[in-house]
Chain A
């Protein structure tokens, strides 16, 4: 087994086990940690694909930024009470059916993958750095979607400021 294959399985296991832990653990802080592990696994997969920029941004934004905010909120919750509450609603049968259907769909896709996907993909090495390539693509080919997303984020920021501002008056 080559190094890349080993790391692929290691990071995938990290991502999947982290996901399972997020759902199954009872303590909310442990869940947040499991989610972080999962995100770290995904970041590792980005790195294996040669997307260094995405790898670093995934860690800075998701683990360093968003998960810190998650923890901030979780710490303000009374965990002793929260962990005694019922963890799952009564949607278990429906959820089971949906999950099984999704798994079936994925497996049927995978069984056809020999037809859909080429057996081996030859990666063309990037000219220039990873970051520069991402920037070039974002600001030339995908400029309109990029600006639209920026406006969406701005609307969200303004909205959250409005919601926070009303309560203090």
Chain B
């Protein structure tokens, strides 16, 4: 038995299984958060029917998508139509392989980790392009063409901002990038007298464009192209595209967190007196506060079963808060908590973007990409290189 645990493939395989099994659920709940936050911004309630305050909506949605009729258009290119969402999903999940959840939880520690993620995200776009083309519909084809043009324009700016981060870290290996921030006592977003902040902003914009999120969601602009590249997709194949989209959001957010927000490190990792409030205070306040705040919601529910479900959720959150108060558990898992907390912040930011910014017009998209982000990215690399060299 010991030899099984010691096998070099044991950890990666277990982690892979956990991610593959768990992420569809996580993606479903990201969708729920997105719908709820958007609803709140638009003074609506959002999903309210399934479960208490719509808490079980993702499960209902997933079941619905699984049992929907599977439609393949007669004149489509069937093999490519079948394979395109699979390719998208495969690439989105491949990105997870090099994400460091803390200093030792990762599937693979590759010395070109950052490049592997750019590679998977670039190839993932092929799923969108091929799916749009194979559908044999004008709307889908237009969506695919836009996606290709957008990828080519924003990939350059994205790489330039990554180069800035890599210059500060001196390595492409994801865990070592975080360790470099630990040694230099600073998150790279604030490195080089704030010059890295520009690189961070470029990454934020270009990454949002790369994964086709609002305000850059022209490939699926619903007001112009019905649903863009996935117009002809329904049921489970469509669900695969959505899963890939939320997988990409998670990967892009993780790269941003690792490169600019200090990965699994807590804020101010070198200030020792902050350890108690940060490592114990924040998780306990977060989970315990959520549980405490939800108690008054129970009384407002009419249905007995819904009350029980909400009470179970509250008990779960309180239990997690208690776990974080237990030093042994806290010590082992607080770094993963910080990593996932930062990633969630990033995902939340993207939901905000969707709620606040109107969609770009196509020429505006190209102008921002080629005339602002790429020259800006080049200047940023130059400035960071000079300042970084001067500081050494």
Contacts and interface: CB of A to CB of B under 8 A. Distances in A.
9 contacts: A29-B130, A56-B112, A59-B123, A64-B121, A67-B126, A72-B148, A72-B149, A130-B111, A130-B112
Contacts of B155: 64-65
Interface residues of B, number: 28
A56 B116 contact: yes
A69 interface: yes
B145 A72 contact: yes
Nearest to A56: B115
A129 B123 contact: no
Interface in B129-173: 129-130, 133, 141, 144-145, 148-149, 151-152, 155, 171-173
Contact of A52 (B112, B125, B129, B130): B112
Nearest to A126: B111
Nearest to B120: A59
A167 B80 CA distance: 36
A76 B145 CA distance: 9
Given A71-B133, A71-B148, A75-B144, A131 B172 contact: yes
Interface of A: 27, 29, 33, 36, 52-53, 55-57, 59-60, 63-65, 67-69, 71-72, 75-76, 129-131
Given A65-B155, A72-B148, A130-B112, A60 B133 contact: no
Contacts, number: 79
B130 to A, nearest CB: 8
B162 to A, nearest CB: 11
B122 interface: yes
Contact of A63 (B126, B152, B173): B126
The A interface, classified by DSSP as helix, strand, loop or mixed, is helix
B152 A68 contact: yes
Nearest to A66: B152
The B interface, classified by DSSP as helix, strand, loop or mixed, is helix
B17 to A, nearest CB: 22
Contacts of A52: 110-112
Contacts of B151: 64, 68
B77 interface: yes
Given A69-B152, A75-B133, A60 B145 contact: no
B201 interface: no
Nearest to B116: A56
A55 B115 CA distance: 9
Given A65-B152, A71-B133, A129-B172, A60 B141 contact: no
Given A60-B118, A65-B122, A129-B111, 6 more contacts: A60-B122, A63-B122, A64-B121, A64-B122, A76-B145, A131-B172
A63 B123 contact: yes
A60 to B, nearest CB: 5
A52 B119 CA distance: 12
A68 B116 contact: no
A65 B129 CA distance: 13
A57 B115 contact: yes
Contacts of B149: 72
B136 to A, nearest CB: 10
A104 B155 CA distance: 43
Interface string B260-288: 00000000000000000000000000000
Given A59-B122, A69-B148, A129-B171, A53 B112 contact: yes
B380 to A, nearest CB: 20
Contacts of B148: 68-69, 71-72, 75
